[in-house]
Amino acid sequence: MKNLFFGFVVVLALFLACRNDENVVQQIDQIFNLYIDSAKQDMLNNKIPGSYFEVKMNDVYGLKDNAPVTFNPKIDADTIHYIEYIAGAKRINVDSTAAFRIYESKIALRLTKKKNDTVNSVTNDTMTIRYRWTPELFQLSQIWYNGTLQFSKTEGQPNIVKISK
């Protein structure tokens, strides 16, 4: 009985080792960096007066009204603050053929800054993210911020979105 089991395992291992691997490995390029400035002021640096001290992102297509989206606040080599968005918002299919698909995510941003010591000012913005899918590539394609196209993917270039308010 042990020899039969051992023989089966050996045959299975040989079968898997000799199979023709025609499966294409899909490349994924979906991370982007979001910078926000106003009159050359880094609006994501909460240490600068007049900048946003709180940023919240909510998934508009989420299953619930309150569907927070995670992001990473970061600082680049020039000490400029930005938001690194990796993934997290629900993607809906908005167009497809046999060769490609277009997916979309929509995120509501709530940006809060101090107006004075007792009053805060809240800005509500919307970001729409489009992705292009093929069997070989899943890639960020376009980003609209408050209905204005702010980013279109250029091959070989980093995914950087700069918003001026």
Would you kindly state where each structural domain of the chain is located, as residue ranges?
26-164
Q: Does residue 13 have a pLDDT over 70? A: no
Structure tokens at 91: 């993607």
- Torsion sign, CA atoms 45, 49, 54, 60: negative
What are the tokens at 159? 């995914």
Residues written for the chain: 165
36 pLDDT band, cuts 50/70/90, is: very high
pLDDT digits (tens, 9 = 90+) for 109-141: 999 999 888 999 999 999 999 999 999 999 999
